[in-house]
Amino acid sequence: MSELSQGYQPTSSRLEDSSSSGDEDTDMHESEQYQQYGNQTRQEDLKQLDTGELEQPRGSAAPTQQLEDDNDLEWREETEEHSETRQQQDGNMKVVASHYNELKEAGRKERFKSRIFHMRNFNNWIKSQLISEYLKRIQENQRMGEPMRVLDMCCGKGGDLLKWEKAMITYLICTDIAEVSVEQCKKRYEDICRRAEKSKFPHKFEAEFFACDSTLVRLRERFKDPSLKLNLVSCQFAFHYSFESLTQAECMVRNAAECLQPGGFFIATMPDAYELMKRLRASSDGRSFGNEVYNIEFVCDTNPPPLFGAKYQFHLEGVVDCPEFLVHFPTLVKLCRKYGLKLDRKTTFADYYKENIEKGRGLLQRMNCLDTVYANRVGNDEQYAHLKRYMKGNSGRPYGSLTKCEWEAATIYLVCAFRKCKNTWDAQGKPVFEFDD
């Protein structure tokens, strides 16, 4: 068995800089990154967001609009201008839905041949650690036997179903914009249930499935029981699609928040906008960057990019090839607070790996997240050149690592979590959330 190196340590100074943003330095990091996010900051926009009046920046897909003061997302009457904008939004989301509907499910042999095989497993390990961390925190404050209810928002083909089964949850709601993906997710769930029936220690959880656009539709109205209270909402590698417009982002946040019990969590993984802009500024053409396995090309004004509708085309080998949008994180935090969600953590994948490697090392090996590399390979392959310093004096010992290209692709992402706060009600029947900061 190979000894795992303490993570990929890139030889490129640019990449070393890009993956070293500890939580303790978040304020300083974001202050510096505002300069990378454009030639001017968005502080004035954030002040407008505080007051409830946010003017949609130039280049955004949505028209100028007010951010509602109340907790109810108002569905606006469509003018001709709004109708045209909605058609653009529908067009982008149809592209996303079509892409994932048409994406064929590769077999195990085909996946193993992929140049991002280990990176995809690594990303899956990150998700496992994140889900485990927050389910444990919820369970610590639950009484024995209390139900554990989860919403998997943008569930895809059901890649996290086994995680939910192992976590012994009680009830699961799965929804996604791609109908084919939801059907495949449902079939996977049925397979899990059949296997559970044959097990000596069966655990079956109930589940419901439906296809819809979480950026435009109020999800609880589609629930079998709209009064259902959730413990956890998970949105993995999908939330950034909502930042096409303020309306869509607010709808997505509301869907994440409104059925969560106080003390429940909304967890997500998404591209780190600061990291993307940092790499863009360092690129040769100022429009695109990437390597052999991923590529990002911006199709919007990036000096500075708009808060919403900051569009780029993302290609990840054999997995993704569709438009995505930057998530301006301070704006997300403010939208979440409007619906009673307080930021609990924001951590890059690189730092989250460092934080979890000791307790998660065994799972990292079982999930085949790292390639096994011997000294003779290191000398001939620049993708593993970073391992040379580990192998001095230990030339016969194998190490585990991602390739340089895989690490560059994996470290564009971050994990984040928000906690649902308690609330009282004012004279108008509106919630007043109790933030402890």
Residue 369 DSSP one-character state = -
Cα–Cα dist 382/202, whole Å = 47
Give the residues across from 348 on adjacent strands.
414
Cα–Cα dist 150/189, whole Å = 14
Q: In 3D, which of 81, 125, 123, 183 has the Cα closest to residue 356?
A: 125
Annotated binding site: 123-124, 127, 154, 176, 213, 236, 241
Concatenating the DSSP letter of every residue in 49-106 gives: HHHT--PPPTT-SS-S-PPPSSSS-PPPPP-HHHHHHHHHHHHHHHHHHHHHHH----
Q: Do 215 and 241 meet the contact criterion of CB atoms below 8 Å apart?
A: yes
Annotated binding site for mRNA: 123-124
Cα–Cα dist 193/204, whole Å = 6
Distance set, CA 141 to CA 218, 358, 437 (Å): 29, 25, 21
Distance set, CA 143 to CA 147, 183, 202 (Å): 9, 34, 22
Length, in residues, of the chain: 437
Annotated binding site for S-adenosyl-L-methionine: 127, 154, 176, 213, 236, 241
Q: Do 88 and 59 meet the contact criterion of CB atoms below 8 Å apart?
A: no
Cα–Cα dist 233/258, whole Å = 10
Give the residues across from 175 on adjacent strands.
153, 210
Distance set, CA 191 to CA 127, 132, 175, 186, 333 (Å): 22, 23, 18, 9, 38
Q: In 3D, which of 323, 284, 276, 324 has the Cα closest to residue 304?
A: 276
Q: Do 209 and 187 meet the contact criterion of CB atoms below 8 Å apart?
A: no
Distance set, CA 290 to CA 7, 48, 181, 406, 412 (Å): 21, 35, 28, 11, 11
